[in-house]
């Protein structure tokens, strides 16, 4: 379960940590060939596996910039990162060896078993072993699909398992802890800024006791099958076994790898559970949920259909609306859930969940689709907790902020999408870094002593560069910003992305970023357990909007609400403002606070507000009196007679001035 991150006392904007513009030294990489393990049955080295360079093998080039720090100086150079195009693939044809050692292609197959859990960490570190490792940071526990390395090679968090260079028979072993039906393997090379390392072919062996092993055989020849692996570091390659094997242990034995490199790989194992009639092994944990919800991945059409079904099932508490369109024209749909959908109720806070900022991070999207189903179902059943949520607040759920990116990732599938494919929108913009930087603007003003008298500590305006016609701002980003401005959100969580600072400094809304899973695109069979892991936290976080003070700022004479009045709390350098009807919410932890309400044309009022440990916001209302100048302006504008009390106050003010 993700933590609630409720450090609400200080309410300082979260610090956005980002890596500077990377730069790189030129790495002289000679055209690599394939290194063959001793005893390999592959074709001889006259047919080496080539790296993804040039156009002859259908590859393309991209320029990346990498930061190199040397003697306290940042040297910016260019290097060509060689990448291979990523065609739409659901499974790679199986390649095996004939008795003569040549490669044979079998028919295309689809994966039938779910992942064992290397990427999602359901397979723990102690279940992974290897023949050798170059270092601890390149140990077997790092041989997980899509694992990422740090900026420096040789640290504790490198980007693959790598055997020692002198290891003549390298292998990576996985202990499933009980018998399973192994059906396939997905591999990648080493994730590294500095090196190219990947395995180009491997064999697979199985065991029930880790001592006696047998191999996966080629149907036609009866020889050990040799599977084609990778031709670049990042593209996941799936191989299905000629015949699924029931065993407890599985080994991957690299046969050839990039010449000049090392046998390095990241992997996921596909395996189905099997029954154990003799009860010799401990019962495998079952992933599941008792909630009858739609546990599967939804593309754009399926998502829209599901949201429509929820709306039809609960028409009195739901409303679907769009906040804009993606670059390719897909609508950014929001599900609103409240006892009075479609309208802001006085004193009722607005909260939101946003998911899918990175299109390939699918778990947040599915959790929000599950949440809207759950809230509808439990409301109809009369669940008191859900009923209170929907009657005391207005909930907005945006499951897919980047639908274009998600469609790309969805077509690849959960195990083949890789770490980056589908992350950006269709324009290639990372929405995570596309919101305006308001932090620097505020920090510089604070250093110059300009906050809050000259520069406000809240509702910072957009920088000029950000509003220019040629500014690189994605349509998805613009849509969310306008959405923030239209609705007086109080609390938000982004599952996952860095717009939390922007939300806090540009609007009233306190927002946190939630990192959900090590697996960006988990398999469908893991969704029930992920829902159970996060369900209570999703509800509890919404309930935090009740913490603090809330009230209405009104005109003392007319008793009408005052919009855009400023609510300041002594000791907290961040103010909030009232909504159109004068209502406001200020998240605070228990304690005594001096709170000041002010508005243009009114005398400010300060009062003490005590926040207790009791559930629910503490009422803290204000009545503001117009200044004499403002009252006179309004009376003169309407042609009304000036009352005696106002006349006397104006005369006293003139006397002081003279």
Which residues form the catalytic set? Answer: 515
Residue 328's nearest CA partner among 406, 260, 267, 273 is: 406
Query: For residue 471, is it left (φ>0), alpha (ψ between -120 and 50) or beta?
Result: beta
Helices 300-313 and 362-381 pack at an angle, to 10 degrees, of 10
The single residue listed with the structure tokens 């050692």 is 101
How far out from the chain centre does Cα 447 lie? 33
CA distances from 229 to 152, 313, 619 (A): 26, 48, 64
Cα separation, 17 vs 240, in Å, equals 41
Spatial neighbors of 571 by CB under 8 A, at least 6 apart, are: 593
Give the DSSP per-residue string, 472-503: ---HHHHHHHHHHHHS-EEEEEEES-STHHHH
Quickly count: other Cβ atoms within 10 Å of residue 452's Cβ: 15
Q: Which residues pair with 181 in a beta bridge?
A: 246, 272
Report DSSP state, residue 39: T
Return d(Cα 548, Cα 613) in angstroms, integer. Answer: 10
> Strand runs (DSSP E) across 508-598, as ranges?
510-513, 549-555, 566-569, 576-577, 583-586, 591-598
At residue 185, φ and ψ (nearest 5 deg) are -140, 140
8 Å CB contact between 544 and 492: no
Give φ, ψ of 341 to 5 degrees.
-65, 145
Taking the CA atoms of residue 42, residue 47, residue 52 and residue 53 in that order, the dihedral angle to the nearest 10 degrees is 160
Q: How far is CA 249 from CA 176, 181, 214, 237, 373, in A?
A: 6, 10, 11, 21, 40
Rg (alpha carbons) of the chain, rounded to whole number: 30
């Amino acid at each position: 379960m993700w933590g609630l991150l409720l450090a609400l006392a200080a309410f300082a904007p979260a610090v956005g940590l980002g890596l500077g513009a990377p730069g790189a030294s030129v790495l002289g990489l000679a055209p690599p060939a394939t290194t063959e393990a001793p005893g390999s049955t592959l074709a001889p080295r006259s047919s080496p596996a080539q790296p993804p360079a040039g156009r002859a093998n259908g590859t393309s080039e991209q320029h990346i910039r990498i930061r190199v720090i040397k003697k306290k100086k940042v040297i910016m150079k260019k290097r060509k990162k060689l990448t291979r195009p990523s065609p739409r693939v659901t499974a790679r044809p199986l390649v095996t060896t004939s008795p003569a050692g040549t490669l044979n292609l079998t028919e295309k197959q689809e994966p039938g078993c779910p992942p064992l859990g290397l990427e999602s960490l359901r397979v723990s570190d102690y279940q992974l072993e290897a023949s050798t490792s170059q270092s601890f940071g390149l140990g077997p526990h790092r041989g997980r699909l899509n694992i990422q390395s740090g900026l420096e090679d040789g640290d504790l968090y490198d980007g693959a398992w790598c055997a020692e260079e002198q290891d003549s028979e390298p292998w990576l072993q996985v202990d499933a802890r009980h018998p399973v039906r192994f059906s396939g393997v997905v591999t990648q090379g080493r994730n590294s800024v500095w090196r190219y390392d990947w395995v180009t072919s491997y064999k697979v062996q199985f065991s029930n006791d880790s001592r006696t092993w047998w191999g996966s055989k080629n149907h036609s020849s009866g020889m050990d099958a040799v599977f084609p692996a990778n031709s670049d570091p990042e593209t996941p390659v799936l191989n299905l076994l000629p015949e699924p094997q029931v065993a407890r242990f599985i080994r991957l034995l690299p046969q050839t790898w990039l010449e000049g490199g090392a046998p390095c790989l990241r992997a996921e194992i596909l395996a189905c559970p099997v029954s154990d009639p003799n009860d010799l092994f401990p019962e495998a944990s079952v992933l599941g949920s008792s909630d009858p919800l739609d546990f599967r991945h939804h593309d754009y059409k399926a998502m829209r259909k599901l949201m429509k079904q929820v709306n039809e099932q609960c028409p009195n508490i739901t409303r679907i609306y769009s906040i804009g369109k993606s670059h390719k024209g897909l609508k950014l749909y929001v599900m609103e859930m409240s006892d009075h959908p479609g309208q802001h109720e006085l004193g009722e806070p607005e909260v939101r969940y946003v998911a899918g900022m990175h299109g390939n991070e699918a778990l947040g999207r599915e959790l929000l689709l599950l949440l809207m189903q759950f809230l509808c179902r439990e409301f109809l059943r009369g669940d008191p907790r859900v009923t209170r949520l929907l009657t005391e607040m207005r909930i907005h759920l945006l499951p897919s902020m980047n639908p274009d990116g998600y469609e790309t990732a969805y077509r690849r599938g959960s195990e083949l999408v890789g770490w980056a494919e589908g992350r950006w929108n269709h324009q290639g913009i990372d929405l995570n870094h596309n919101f305006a930087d308001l932090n620097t603007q505020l920090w510089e003003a604070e250093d110059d002593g300009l906050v809050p008298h000259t520069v406000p500590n809240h509702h910072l305006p957009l920088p000029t560069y950000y509003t220019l016609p040629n500014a690189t701002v994605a349509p998805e980003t613009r849509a969310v910003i306008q959405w923030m401005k239209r609705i007086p959100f109080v609390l938000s969580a982004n599952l996952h992305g860095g717009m939390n600072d922007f939300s806090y400094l540009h609007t009233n809304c306190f927002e946190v970023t939630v990192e959900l899973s090590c697996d960006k695109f988990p398999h469908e069979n893991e969704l029930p357990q992920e829902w159970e892991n996060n369900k209570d936290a999703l509800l509890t976080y919404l309930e935090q909007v009740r913490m603090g003070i809330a009230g209405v700022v009104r005109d003392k004479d007319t008793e009408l609400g005052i919009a855009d009045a400023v609510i300041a709390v002594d000791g907290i350098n961040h103010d909030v403002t009232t909504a159109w009807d004068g209502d406001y919410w200020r998240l605070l932890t228990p304690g005594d606070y001096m709170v000041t309400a002010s508005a243009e044309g009114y005398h400010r009022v300060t009062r003490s507000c005590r926040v207790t440990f009791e559930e629910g916001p503490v009422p803290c209302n204000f009545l503001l009196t117009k200044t004499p100048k403002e009252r006179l302006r309004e009376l003169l504008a309407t042609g009304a007679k000036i009352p005696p009390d106002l006349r006397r106050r104006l005369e006293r003010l003139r006397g002081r001035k003279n």
